[in-house]
Structure 1
Amino acid sequence: MAEVLTGIAVATESLTLCIKAVGVLKRFYVTVKEAREDLNKILNLVGRTRNRIELMKMTLIELRKSTDPGIAAGFITACDGLNRTLEDLVQEASAIANGQSRFGIARRLKWSMSHSKVEELVRKLAEQEKEVTNSYMMLNSLTCLRTQQELQKLTRSSDERSEITIAFCQESEERLSDVSTLRNSSEEPAGRVRTWLGHVITDHHSSEYLQLRNELSEAVYWGDWEVVFNKLEEGLRTYGELWGNATRMKDRSQYHHLSMWTPLHQAVYHHAPAYVVERLLEYGSFKTLRTRTSEFGYRNLTPLELAHEMEVFHLYHILSPVIKQPLPPDTLQRIEYNFHRLIRSEIGLRVDTEKLYLPVLEALTELDGETVWFPIKFGYPGAGYLFQLLGRELQVKSVNIQAKASEILYRVMEDDIYETDQISNFAGDLKQEENMAEEDTMGSLPFKLEQ
């Protein structure tokens, strides 16, 4: 029993070190061309080892009532060596990160760890990963906790979770401006990238687009849900946009009268059945967006707050936001401020003259790393921003903003905005974006950036 408890404690210590090592390394992974291959090896090894230790800890917890004094001894020995290596890795990486990891748009971090040191760490980690894996397999085979097939399945799953993938992959980007590929699409809306509808006035849209959006708003206003879902599907097929958060658009003179009620707010107002709300969520509706005006006690209401005001009890549960990426409010506010600053630095005064509704990042805390597409309807065709929240940073791709066929990657953090040449997803933290398309704006003129 004592050996098993000691093994659980050692596993917990090893997991903590793995998490710390990955956290330190990935802070500057995407900015260092010279070190990316070396860091990739280490991150993969640490990620796989971390997942193996998680499996071992789970096994030891299952065996915590065992009376065999030596059942966890091999694993403890393997973890002791691993922990020493991880401590060296964390110390080395922390020194580099803390000393030089402040990188701006005009600066790049230089990797100071020698290749010989990296190769030695990789060799040690690979050996210790093998020892941990062997301990795990042996323990399970001795105790008959799992079949060989189950062990192989768990191992494959842990390896998949440790893979590093590239965000904003080229395969998806090729569809950005190809609206025609969406016109006959029969894919479910949940398989499409969410759309941030930042254009709330009628400028820069075709008459066909405006008519369809108006028909949707009218159907939502009267609670005609069959028509609503027909219009949502038509908007997806025709323009490649998810209109689950579509507000009523107005002309420029009526901008100050925008209520910013989304279909979810209207569903609450009409006491819609739960299946209607569930279907709206499939079309990308956010639960945390707020109104600008209302006739109730407060102007800025979420759908859940509106349900509370109107005592629509049957929607309480489904409208309660599930926060998948919890961030301190001040941190989220600073990241959002810097994201808006980035957009203003690229688009200039047109953010204000075009009355753009800039993304509210609180909505992204509902998502498990999903990508959101913010189309810009003026300037170059297919212009917009892809963005996704990963931990305490926002990963952004500026598409066709500064020039035709231009792409610039940014990491937006609470302290500043950093330009990079590659963005990666670690250990399956993010889902890669799905198809998206932009309304054809070939007739529009490119805008000029503010100097």
Structure 2
Amino acid sequence: MAEVLTGIAVATESLTLCIKAVVILKRFYVTVKEAREDLNKILNLVGRTRNRIELMKITLIELRKTTDPGITAGFIAACDGLNGTLKELVQEASTIANGRSRFGIARRLKWSMSHSKVEELVRKLAEQEKEVTNSYMMLNSLTSLRTQQELQRLTRSSDERSEITIAFCQESEERLSDVSTLRSSSEEPLSRPRTWLGHTITDYHSPEYLQLRDELSEAVYWGDWDVVFNKLEEGFRTFGELWGNAPRVKDRAQYHHLSMWTPLHQAVYHHAPVHVVERLLEYGAFRAEMLRTRKSEFGHPNLTPLELAHEMEVYHLYDILRPVIKRPLPPDTLQRIEYNFHRLIRSEIGQCVDTAKLYLPVLEVLKELDGEAVWFPIKFGHPGAGYLFQLLGRELQVKSVNIQDKASETLYRVMEDDIYETDQIFNFAGDLKQKRDIDEEDTAQPLSFKLEL
């Protein structure tokens, strides 16, 4: 048992080092063009190794009562070499972190490791990742703890979680910007980014757009849900926007009379059935605590849909209107990231933020999403302008489209300390919406764990 406990302790140390290295490298990963290929290899290897060690640790915990000597010797030996390499990697990664590039300053990071040093780290990590994997497979084989099918499934899931992909892929960009393709598209609303409707007044909108938004607002006001969903679908097909959060827009002279009641507020007011709220959520409605009315005839002017349901005792909507947190984040961290995002928008758009009465994105809504992107269209200036943004970990990934010039694109990583411009953003599978670890065929009967020593 002592050897198994030693193995668990070694695995814990290795996991800590893996996480520390990945956190530092991911933070500054895309600011160093010259080293991206090398960093890509290292991050993939560290990610796979970390996931293998996690599996090994779980296995050792299950076997902690065994008295079989030598059962974990191979794993401990593999981790000893791995930990030395990881400590070296953490030291190099910390050097990178100390030379970070800041928004508005031309200075760029300089990669501190020579190419030969990087190659050596990649080679060592690859060998050690293979040793850890072999140890894990051998341990399960010796103990008959898991079937071959279960091992393959766990290994496949482990590899998927360490994959790196390019953020804001070309296909999603084309679907986002080419409104003409939407008129005949069979695409469903849930397959597109939600829309942040930041234009609260009628300026800069086309007459066709304003007419359809007004028709939607009228239908929502009267609780005519068949018409509401027809208008939502028409807005989605015609303008490529999801209007689940759409308040009534007013002309500039009436700006101070905006109520900011969303369709969810009106659904509560009309005691709509649950399926109506479910469909509004499909069209991009948010439940967020920060999305509040500005006017109300009830006890308080600033109400969320859930608070309105409480005021009106609409009990059957309580559960579905409760905020859903899929991306937990400290409030002060999110507030600083939001401040920097708004600073970025103001730096690019300038005084138009205030003159156009833009309602800048409230990032609390992103906590409801599992890494999905949100589209904030800008209706003045160049066609198709806007911001595509998503929250991953403790950073906001932003793509500025057609803001500065026609056909211009700029990528930013917005963090709580500053804004970092880059030429490409990568997503890590572990940060994205989690895939199911168990396939459909595996759910028919429970996994069979057995211990035969």
Q: TM-score, normalised by structure 1?
A: 0.91
Matched, 1:101 2:100: yes
Percent same amino acid among aligned pairs? 87
Matched, 1:128 2:128: yes
For residues 212 and 96 of structure 1, the distance between their equivalents in structure 2, rounded to whole angstroms, comes to: 52
CA contact (8 A) 2:176 2:240 kept: no
Describe the SS at the equivalent of 1:103. Answer: coil
The aligned residue for residue 142 of structure 1 is: 142
The Cα offsets for residues 36-87 of structure 1, whole Å up to 9 and x where unpaired, read as: 1111111000001111112222222333343434333322222222122111
The aligned residue for residue 164 of structure 1 is: 164
Partner letter of residue 30 of structure 1?
V
For residues 312 and 58 of structure 2, the distance between their equivalents in structure 1, rounded to whole angstroms, comes to: 46
The aligned residue for residue 92 of structure 1 is: 92
- 1:199: Cα distance to partner? 0.9
For residues 182 and 375 of structure 1, the distance between their equivalents in structure 2, rounded to whole angstroms, comes to: 16
Partner letter of residue 66 of structure 1?
T
- 1:431: Cα distance to partner? 6.1
- 1:120: Cα distance to partner? 1.6
User: In structure 2, do the counterparts of structure 1 residues 63 and 313 end up closer, same or farther at CA, with 3 Å as the change threshold?
Assistant: farther
User: In structure 2, do the counterparts of structure 1 residues 224 and 65 end up closer, same or farther at CA, with 3 Å as the change threshold?
Assistant: farther
The aligned residue for residue 424 of structure 1 is: 426
For residues 244 and 145 of structure 1, the distance between their equivalents in structure 2, rounded to whole angstroms, comes to: 49
- 1:239: Cα distance to partner? 1.1
The aligned residue for residue 265 of structure 1 is: 265
> For structure 2, which runs of at least 5 residues remain unmatched after alignment?
435-453
The aligned residue for residue 304 of structure 1 is: 306
- 1:249: Cα distance to partner? 1.0
How is 1:328-339 mapped onto 2 (pairs within 5 angstroms)?
328-339=330-341
The aligned residue for residue 234 of structure 1 is: 234
- 1:240: Cα distance to partner? 1.0
Matched, 1:113 2:136: no
For residues 299 and 76 of structure 2, the distance between their equivalents in structure 1, rounded to whole angstroms, comes to: 60
- 1:108: Cα distance to partner? 0.7
For residues 6 and 299 of structure 1, the distance between their equivalents in structure 2, rounded to whole angstroms, comes to: 60
For residues 292 and 66 of structure 1, the distance between their equivalents in structure 2, rounded to whole angstroms, comes to: 64
CA contact (8 A) 1:103 1:109 kept: no
CA contact (8 A) 1:47 1:427 kept: no
- Stretches (4+) displaced over 6 A: none
Partner letter of residue 46 of structure 1?
V
Describe the SS at the equivalent of 2:33. Answer: coil
Describe the SS at the equivalent of 1:20. Answer: helix
The aligned residue for residue 19 of structure 1 is: 19
The aligned residue for residue 358 of structure 1 is: 360
For residues 215 and 8 of structure 1, the distance between their equivalents in structure 2, rounded to whole angstroms, comes to: 63
CA contact (8 A) 2:45 2:126 kept: yes
Describe the SS at the equivalent of 2:347. Answer: helix
- 1:354: Cα distance to partner? 1.1
For residues 241 and 104 of structure 1, the distance between their equivalents in structure 2, rounded to whole angstroms, comes to: 30
The aligned residue for residue 375 of structure 2 is: 373
- 1:102: Cα distance to partner? 4.3
The aligned residue for residue 248 of structure 2 is: 248
For residues 70 and 303 of structure 2, the distance between their equivalents in structure 1, rounded to whole angstroms, comes to: 60
Partner letter of residue 113 of structure 1?
M
Q: TM-score, normalised by structure 2?
A: 0.91
User: In structure 2, do the counterparts of structure 1 residues 402 and 319 end up closer, same or farther at CA, with 3 Å as the change threshold?
Assistant: same
CA contact (8 A) 1:371 1:431 kept: no
The aligned residue for residue 442 of structure 2 is: none
The aligned residue for residue 440 of structure 1 is: none
> For structure 1, which runs of at least 5 residues remain unmatched after alignment?
433-451
CA contact (8 A) 2:103 2:419 kept: yes
Aligned length: 431
- 1:170: Cα distance to partner? 2.0
Name the Cα RMSD after superposition.
1.8
Partner letter of residue 124 of structure 2?
K
User: In structure 2, do the counterparts of structure 1 residues 72 and 268 end up closer, same or farther at CA, with 3 Å as the change threshold?
Assistant: farther
Matched, 1:6 2:6: yes
